Amino acid sequence: MAIDDTVTPPTVERLILEGFIQNVGKVFGAAQPIFLSTTDRYRVADIIAKQQGENVSYPFAFAHITGVDDWESGTGYNTGSLLRHGGYTNVTSDTSLQLSIYPVRFDIELMFLTDDFDKALIFMNQWKYAGRKGKLNTTVVYGGLNIDVRVFLDTNLASPDKDNTVDTINAYEYSGILHINGYMSSMDSDDVKEVSMISGSKLAVFDNAGNPVFNPNV
């Protein structure tokens, strides 16, 4: 999915979340998760299944942002100070761009649906190893700024109850909570100095092995 940066550069959080969904699809072997504005994942999964018809492809993955909070980055910056005054960073492009950024934690529920019990077991396995090995960690390259994004997975996986109705798809479901320690960049013009374009070659997201997982201009 291409991000239009012809007017203003995409925010740091947009790149972080786009990189996250790309990486989830890669790590868990599922379709890239769809961000839901609702917890009614069965209705959305049913719509997708009907659209795909006989070619329906499991597993499905859905993500729901349950909360956003501050976190202490441990880089010497004080979160309160960053919120009040901003942390300005030079981002190199053809000209200069200074951004106000501050550390933000995204709390996300990741839901996995499949019609195959073996795939459900694989998801459980990958969840445990992804948490231990930091497989969902990424590095966001934003011009001249390299942002390390750490993802922490709760150890518990739950299998929520569902209504046994005719219209409800028959699938194994497991969900877990994870926390993305990332950043937001200010969209307030007072916090951006010398706004200029950032070329696509200077925007990218890489996984913990250094492989590209998202290029906003592709």
CB neighbour list of residue 7: distance below 8 Å, 6 or more residues apart: none
| Amino acid symbol at 104 | V
- State the pLDDT at residue 7: 40
Q: With respect to residue 1, please indicate whether it lies within any of the assigned structural domains.
A: no
Q: What is the pLDDT of residue 132?
A: 92
Is residue 109 in some structural domain?
yes
In a domain, 108, yes or no: yes
CB-based contact 11:185 (threshold 8 Å)? yes
CATH number of the domain to which 190 belongs: 3.30.2000
Q: Round to whole Å and give the CA distance between 153 and 162.
A: 24
Contact 192, 116 (CB under 8 A): no
Residue 94's domain spans which residues? 12-209
Looking at residue 144, its pLDDT comes to 66
Residue 6 is assigned to a structural domain of this protein? no
Number of domains, the chain:
1
SS3 52: helix
Q: Confirm if 6 and 35 have CB atoms less than 8 A apart.
A: no
Q: 3-class SS at 28?
A: helix
Is residue 168 domain-resident?
yes
- Asked if residue 2 belongs to a domain, the reply is no
Radius of gyration in angstroms for the set of CA atoms belonging to the chain, rounded to a whole number: 19
Rounded distance between C-alpha atoms, residue 57 and residue 137, angstroms? 27
Q: How many other CB atoms are there within 10 angstroms of residue 119's CB atom?
A: 18
Task: Read off the pTM.
Answer: 0.77
C-alpha angle 115/121/127, rounded to 5°?
Answer: 115
Cα separation of 149 and 46, whole Å?
Answer: 33
The region that residue 155 occupies, defined by phi over 0 for left and psi between -120 and 50 for alpha, beta otherwise, is alpha
Per the domain annotation, does 7 fall within a domain? no
Question: What does the pLDDT profile of the chain (218 residues) look like in tens digits?
Answer: 444 444 456 788 988 999 998 899 888 877 677 887 766 666 676 666 666 666 666 787 888 899 999 887 555 455 555 555 444 454 544 555 566 778 899 999 998 888 889 989 999 999 999 999 999 999 988 766 778 899 999 999 998 766 555 455 567 888 899 999 998 887 665 555 554 445 544 677 788 887 888 777 65
